[in-house]
Amino acid sequence: MDLLNTLVDKGLRRELPTRDEALAVLATSDDDLLDVVAAAGKVRRHWFGRRVKLNYLVNLKSGLCPEDCSYCSQRLGSEAGILKYTWLKPDEASKAAAAGLAGGAKRVCLVASGRGPTDRDVDRVAGTIKAIKDQNENVEVCACLGLLSDGQAERLREAGADAYNHNLNTSEATYGDITTTHTYADRVDTVQKAHAAGLSACSGLIAGMGESDEDLVDVVFSLRELDPDSVPVNFLIPFEGTPLAKEWNLTPQRCLRILAMVRFVCPDVEVRIAGGREVHLRTMQPLALNLANSIFLGDYLTSEGQAGKADLEMIADAGFEVEGAGEVTLPQHRADVAAAAAGGGCGSHESAGGCGSHEGAGCGTGCGSVCGSHEPAAVPEVNEPRTDLVAVRRRGAGTDLAPNA
């Protein structure tokens, strides 16, 4: 296919595809899907080899957010039955982070719900960063605390943060349909503040909110212009109790096409499969590793993820390897720029990002009614919403139960 040959050539040269080319990737047929994956996989392997970076989320403060982001289980007015708790103490957060690092993660992502941090919150997070880094010499820390005020990014950098995450989520044209309590421009401003402070910028999107192909291309082109080191791709989990609870718009095939498009537009950037991979990619997750070079290990902010052991087995079985703590994630030309700014590559995910998934091994809290019975599981219909795969997190940070890592 001439389109794919052109996109591979451009990806190897770090040349931006045209909008029409990006749209054409999203419009490819299921018959051509493996060709699309193979082509984008050439670009992924050129810049990142067969390494997969593991990132681990610690939800420092869960729920009770004053913002009205429609996709979010922590939003103002959310009726989702998620965990709700105030700030973890530094030793509690450090203990939670240690579980992920022991499981193979090299980056810890510290997330807190809310519009943005107060100066006292920044001090609080600074103490948590110190506690984590005192216990783990080579750990990378990314903070995700919402909209930043002047000077806060610099203070986080001084405290030892390596990166800052703030997602654009959707196109500028449709942003007002998703959130009304802040603007798209607010989000862009925070990413720029992180850049300016010498933090590695991390910014991505949420797919599956009813957006058009044009919206997806718009937001990914905007991300390319912002030039973050990391682009997390979240797939909406329609939590019951949120305005987007009925938005089941994704198939595994569409998720793969979206990831391929992101890889072609952002060829040398850390592309991370974030929330929703277990729910929407399902058994196609290993194929997606040919497109993305980064995932989250274990659970997400308010929902359960695939078992950490299953994540590691999936990576090995697919012929990939976990990126070591001593390995540099980014290609040399990007790593040099990041080093000059005293940054790294980011590994975080939107604090309100509707990140839901299910327990990947055995009977978790979200397993269906067949758990523990001898009745055969029903075979799902094609494109049937898999509400059975959404499980609220009930373990790890904010609980007395061991985390999933």
- Look at phi and psi of residue 89 and say left if phi exceeds 0, alpha if psi is from -120 to 50, else beta: beta
Contact (CB, 8 A) for 10 and 16: yes
- Look at the block and give the residue holding tokens 């296919």: 1
The closest alpha carbon to 235, from 189, 269, 199, 285, belongs to 285
What 3-state DSSP class applies to 111?
A: strand
DSSP letter at 267 equals T
DSSP letter at 160 equals T
Structure-token pair, residue 66:
């004053």
Distance between CA 6 and CA 397 in Å, rounded? Answer: 46
What 3-state DSSP class applies to 185?
A: helix
Angle, helix 213-226 to helix 19-26, in steps of 10 degrees:
130
The one-letter code for the residue type at 43 is V
CA geometry: angle 315, 320, 325, nearest 5 deg = 90
Distance between CA 217 and CA 214 in Å, rounded? Answer: 5
**Using alpha carbons only, how large is the chain's radius of gyration in Å?**
19
Contact (CB, 8 A) for 191 and 197: no
- Look at the block and give the residue holding tokens 């190897």: 12
Contact (CB, 8 A) for 255 and 282: no
Phi, psi of 196 (to 5 degrees): -65, -30
DSSP letter at 173 equals T
Structure-token pair, residue 113:
């719900």
Please list the active-site residues: 65, 69, 72, 109, 142, 202, 272
